[in-house]
Amino acid sequence: MLATARAIVYRDLLVAVRRRSDVAVALLFFVIVTSLFPLGIGAEPNLLRAIAPGVIWVSALLSSLLSLRRLFEADHDDGTLEQMLLGASPLGVVAAAKALAHWMVTGMPLAVIAPLIALQYDLAPQLFGVLALSLLLGTPVLSLIGAIGAALTLGLRGGGVLLSLLVLPLYVPVLIIGAGARRRASSCCSPRCWWWRRRSRLGQSPRH
């Protein structure tokens, strides 16, 4: 079972390496979208610092969405997927391995390059680690949720737009927690400090 998973991950990575431009496009998209925000909003440093986590996370979401279609499509077209279905290995392992390979190709590079984007947004250097870590933890979830959408829209007309409609609402919790981690770390660096602030705030608001 583990051997199957390893073989599928290896194969998908090999395919990605052979077609390097596909990987580069998603990464380039991420860089370009994050660079567009300061142009649209204005280069005021305080504003940029405030929106940086949200912008980086939303761009990561869109960039992951952009590459989702390729998760099953090529294998569906040339019949490889059919052979995998006929094979003895459990389908869950196949799907998980493909999602893992997708993450290694599209999610991990984002986490690596995110500090560079953060530099553009004038974030404090001690937050780079938190940002990269939150992306490293959050992007696998994006690949896993996205795999559901990619499988459901496989081979449909207008599948790309439909895929974003299905998957983006399901991404909301990841976005909130991912971008929130960065915001908490920037407002208050130690976990204990954050905990006290949260408790005092909960004490004030009687709503929930």
Partner 1 sequence: MKWFWYASPQTFYPLAGTIARASGIVAALLAAAGLYIGFFVAPTDAQQGEAYRIIFIHVPAAWMSMFIYVVMACWAALGLALNTRLSGMMASALAPTGALFTFIALWTGSLWGKPTWGTYWVWDARLTSELILLFLYLGFMALQAAIDDPRRADRAGALLAIVGVVNIPIIHYSVVWWNTLHQGASVSVTRAPTMAATMLTGMLLMALAFWAYSIAVSMVRVRCIIRERGGASSS
Residue partners of 189: CB distance under 8 A and separation at least 6: 126
Select from 56-64, 81-89, 132-140, 199-207 the region that touches partner 1 (CB under 8 A): 199-207
Helix, strand, or coil (residue 183) = helix
Q: How far apart are CA 19 and CA 23, in angstroms?
A: 8
Give the 3-state DSSP-derived string for 69-136, with helices as H, strands as E and coil as C: HHHCHHHHHCCHHHHHHHCCCCHHHHHHHHHHHHHHHHHHHHHHHHHHHHHHCCCCHHHHHHHHHHHH
Residue 156 binds partner 1, judged by CB under 8 A = yes
Q: Which one of residues 152, 160, 189, 195 is an interface residue with partner 1 (CB under 8 A)?
A: 152
Q: Give the number of other Cβ atoms within 10 Å of residue 41's Cβ.
A: 12
- Shorter beta-carbon distance to partner 1: residue 115 or 180: 180
Q: Which one of residues 46, 79, 169, 192 is an interface residue with partner 1 (CB under 8 A)?
A: 169
Select from 18-26, 62-70, 83-91, 174-182 the region that touches partner 1 (CB under 8 A): 174-182
**How many residues sit close enough to partner 1 to count as binding (CB under 8 A)?**
28
Residue 173 binds partner 1, judged by CB under 8 A = yes
Q: Least separation, in Å, of the C-beta of 118 and partner 1? A: 21
Q: How far apart are CA 30 and CA 24, in angstroms?
A: 10
Tokens of 130: 């938190």
Residue 166 binds partner 1, judged by CB under 8 A = yes
Q: Least separation, in Å, of the C-beta of 173 and partner 1? A: 4
- Shorter beta-carbon distance to partner 1: residue 47 or 172: 172
Q: Least separation, in Å, of the C-beta of 162 and partner 1? A: 5
Q: Give the number of other Cβ atoms within 10 Å of residue 51's Cβ.
A: 16
Q: What is the DSSP string of 5-23?
A: HHHHHHHHHHHHHHTHHHH
The footprint of partner 1 (CB under 8 A) covers 148, 152-153, 156-159, 162, 165-166, 168-170, 172-173, 176-177, 180, 183-184, 198, 201-202, 204-208
